[in-house]
Structure 1
Amino acid sequence: MKFLIIDDDEAVHMYLTQLLSPYARCEAVFSGAEAIDKYRQAFEEKDPYDTVFMDILMPEMDGHEATKKLRELEKELQVNGPDEFKLVMITSLKDTKNVSQAFFKGYASCYIVKPFNKVHVMSELRENHIL
């Protein structure tokens, strides 16, 4: 498995990479624009991401916009059905609007609120068939 972590906080990269590296190869970027480039590159190299971990609050392009662009890129590349990436939202936002947007517009598999708790993260990922 291969995971892409998108967050503007390096501490989040380090934490999730350490937690998830026994289960998948992890790569991390700091912005939505970098994520789009990485996704396209992985597709072209025939080594796509299984799961994308997306922060919402990021400068320049927030996580909802980045997700929208990644989903559009999937359609452009004719990636569909079971080959689409699973989306895990990772954010400090827990209001109804952001949660609803993540699930109904981004097709998120799960929504994990920061600060992280290892037991909760692992439980969410297992319950939602990420791990």
Structure 2
Amino acid sequence: MRFLFVDDDETVHMYLGKLLESYAKCDSALSGGEAVDMYKKAYEAGDPYNAVFMDIMMPEMDGHAVVKRLRDLENELQVPGPQEFKLVMITSLKDTKNVSKAFFKGLATCYIVKPFNKVHVLHELRENGII
């Protein structure tokens, strides 16, 4: 199993990495462009990401735009439905517009609001079949 954390805050990478390292190989991207490159390379190497953890508020390209690019890339690569990555939104935004956009346009599996609570994160990931 392999996870990609996409957030411009390195402390999020460290926290999630420590929390989830026993479940999956964990990689981190500090920007959307880096995440798209890493996703493509991982897929082409035959070791794709099972889940992508995406922040919404990032410089350059927000998380919704990154998710759209990743989903478009899946279509270009003809990734079969069952092999599409599970999307975990990790953000401090909890307004209806962002939550709806994540689920309906990004096909999010779950939405975890910062600040994180270890028990809540693990529960959400288990409930949604990610770990």
- Superposition TM-score tier, normalisation by shorter sequence: over 0.9
Q: Does 1:117 align with 2:117?
A: yes
Distance 1:99 1:30 in 2: 22
Q: Deviations over 1:7-60 (max 9, x none)?
A: 000000000000000000000010110000000100111000000000000001
Name the TM-score, length of structure 1 as normaliser: 0.99
Distance 2:63 2:78 in 1: 22
Distance 2:64 2:119 in 1: 26
Aligned-residue identity in percent: 70
Distance 2:106 2:130 in 1: 16
Structure-to-structure mapping, 1:36-51, within 5 angstroms: 36-51=36-51
Match of 1:2?
2
Say what the alpha-carbon RMSD is for the aligned residues: 0.4
Give, in angstroms, the shift of residue 80 of structure 1. 2.5
Distance 1:68 1:87 in 2: 11
User: Quick one: which amino acid aligns to residue 67 of structure 1?
Assistant: V
Distance 1:44 1:125 in 2: 26
Distance 1:25 1:114 in 2: 22
User: Quick one: which amino acid aligns to residue 71 of structure 1?
Assistant: R
Name the TM-score, length of structure 2 as normaliser: 0.99
Distance 1:123 1:22 in 2: 15
The SS at the match of 1:57 is: coil
Match of 2:52?
52
Distance 2:120 2:43 in 1: 31
Match of 2:99?
99
Distance 1:84 1:58 in 2: 23
- Report runs of 4+ in structure 1 exceeding 6 Å deviation: none
Structure-to-structure mapping, 1:64-79, within 5 angstroms: 64-79=64-79
Q: Deviations over 1:56-108 (max 9, x none)?
A: 00001000000000000000000031100000000000000000000000000
Match of 1:90?
90
The SS at the match of 1:130 is: coil
Q: Between Structure 1 and Structure 2, how many residues are aligned?
A: 131
